[in-house]
Amino acid sequence: MTASSTTTVTPSDVVGQARRRRSFAVISHPDAGKSTLTEALALHARVIAEAGAVHGKAGRQGVVSDWMAMERARGISITSAALQFYYRDAVINLLDTPGHADFSEDTYRVLSAVDSAVMLLDAAKGLEPQTLKLFDVCRHRDIPVLTFVNKWDRPGREALELCDELVERIGLQPMPLTWPVGAAGHFRGVLDLTDGAFVRYQRTAGGATVAPEERIDPARAEAEAGEDWARAREEAELLTASGGQFAPEAFHTATATPVLFGAAVLNFGVRHLLDLLVDLAPQPAPRLDVDGHPRPLDAPFSAFVFKVQTGMDPAHRDQVAFARVCSGVFERGMVVTNASTGRPFATKYAHQVFGQQRSTVDTAYPGDVVGLVNASALRVGDTLHAGRPAVRFPGLPSFAPAHFAVARPADLSRSKQFRKGVDQLASEGVVQILTSDLRGHAAPVFAAVGPMQFEVAAHRLEHEFSAPVRLDRLPYTAVRRLADPAQRPIVDGARRGEVLTRTDGTDLALFEDEMAMRILQRQHPDLALEPLLAEGA
């Protein structure tokens, strides 16, 4: 990762380095413990000395992946975060995603940049609505999923019941690799199904440090854990006998999921998960370009931008574009081409990212995530490449918005800052920005999948651009893409509808309700209205 940019890198070097990479996202319903698990993984990799995931402890800082002021204040993740670190001989690119449904677009973008995902389940709640939506995205993209049943230190459901739910609700065969010894709320350790040993954990103060583990042979486990041990063996054998025997090919083809049990807040079971990711998670593979052709890993450098973020460093307020390397070797200082514009982009400032912390990165390989600083010319979905011929990867679609609000500066003297902030929010995809000749660019319409996106946008405009904003909600609940711009007057002339243009040039026809839209379609049978991408599609 820090080799000199003058070093000659051969194709075999690139492929060899790619094999060391593991790029995955952690997905879950809110409050399932996703950010806590993210930090526990970093703790076990010994890249942080002490976890700060236990909220309410005096003198403790928030989780490393939750760096925004709003995240720390609310105790939830509202933007994705990238963390890169080493474990054993592997380079881990871990992407922590926002669990709240209002930020589904951000999660979708992150899932486009990973090779596998860890699906986190609450032991008491199992598969929750947002978890199901996120899994649907993984299924759509053929992303292999590992399942980590969290919070086994608290009262919860039966382990077999949770595994049955995976089969019944999402059609995914569970393949347990560890099994809990002790019911939920009385967690004594796990049965390691790879060798039959009992792994017993010891608590540490507040779960702030790595939990010591003691491996006990089956005979001693039977004597010391008694009925809990016997039950764990019986349940695990029952599940494996009914089709749950671990099969790597079933995991890689996303038809089955390895299952592990633990308690992230106590750091129980986390090492098993980290080892599994290194040993079994898929390595980077050739990515399909817009023409459906796989881009070889040892082809010249290429990458795609899946996230843009401003405000990570309040002292500089620079813009960072997160790019997943798809092929070749990235060397800091190289001049690449932005396939969207055909213009060159200099990579003088490139960072390896760990939450909000950064360090300069000189080289990166397929599977790595690179933070490109001062990247105001880059937008989400852009492809970067070196040399010829040009390559372009499929762009990232926008979800159908469900909430709309007209945005105006609360202080007209801050109009310039307001416009600059709106442009920034648009480039990051915090909200979709819609405009029209009727409303004018001074009063753009914010469009969002969920209303919390409005809160984030308003907070950032006020605190990062000193441009407090007034948001006036619009009554629209139905949205379609207007396929023929010439038909715009038909919708604009309707009593309960209008057409607004998104920053990507898409014309969106908005209606107060589905009935208003259907009435207009009956009046104009040739009106070309098309559905937009929905969540999970």
* Contact in structure between 301 and 329 (CB atoms under 8 Å): yes
Question: Closest Cα to residue 368, out of 34, 85, 79?
Answer: 85
Token pair of 476 as six digits: 């629209």
Tokens (6 digits) for 362: 């000189």
Specify the amino acid at residue 132: L
Q: Which residues is 383 bridged to in the sheet?
A: 304
Q: Please indicate if the annotation marks 98 as binding a ligand.
A: yes
CA 110 to chain centre: 4
53 CA to centre of own chain? 19
279 among annotated binding-site residues: no
Instruction: For residue 446, list its beta bridge partners.
Output: 405, 433
**Dist. CA 30–CA 44, nearest whole Å:** 23
156 marked ligand binding residue: no
CA pair distance 193, 200, nearest whole angstrom: 14
100 among annotated binding-site residues: yes
The helix (run of H) or strand (run of E) holding residue 418 is helix 415-428
SS3 496: coil
99 among annotated binding-site residues: yes
- Upper half-sphere CA count for residue 136 (Cβ side, 13 Å): 13
Q: Which ranges of 213-344 does DSSP label H, i.e. alpha helix?
A: 218-239, 248-252, 270-280
3-state secondary structure of 174: strand
- Is the Cβ–Cβ distance between 147 and 174 less than 8 Å? yes
Amino acid at position 515, single letter:
M
- Residue ranges of the annotated binding site for GTP are 96-100
- Residue ranges of the annotated binding site are 96-100
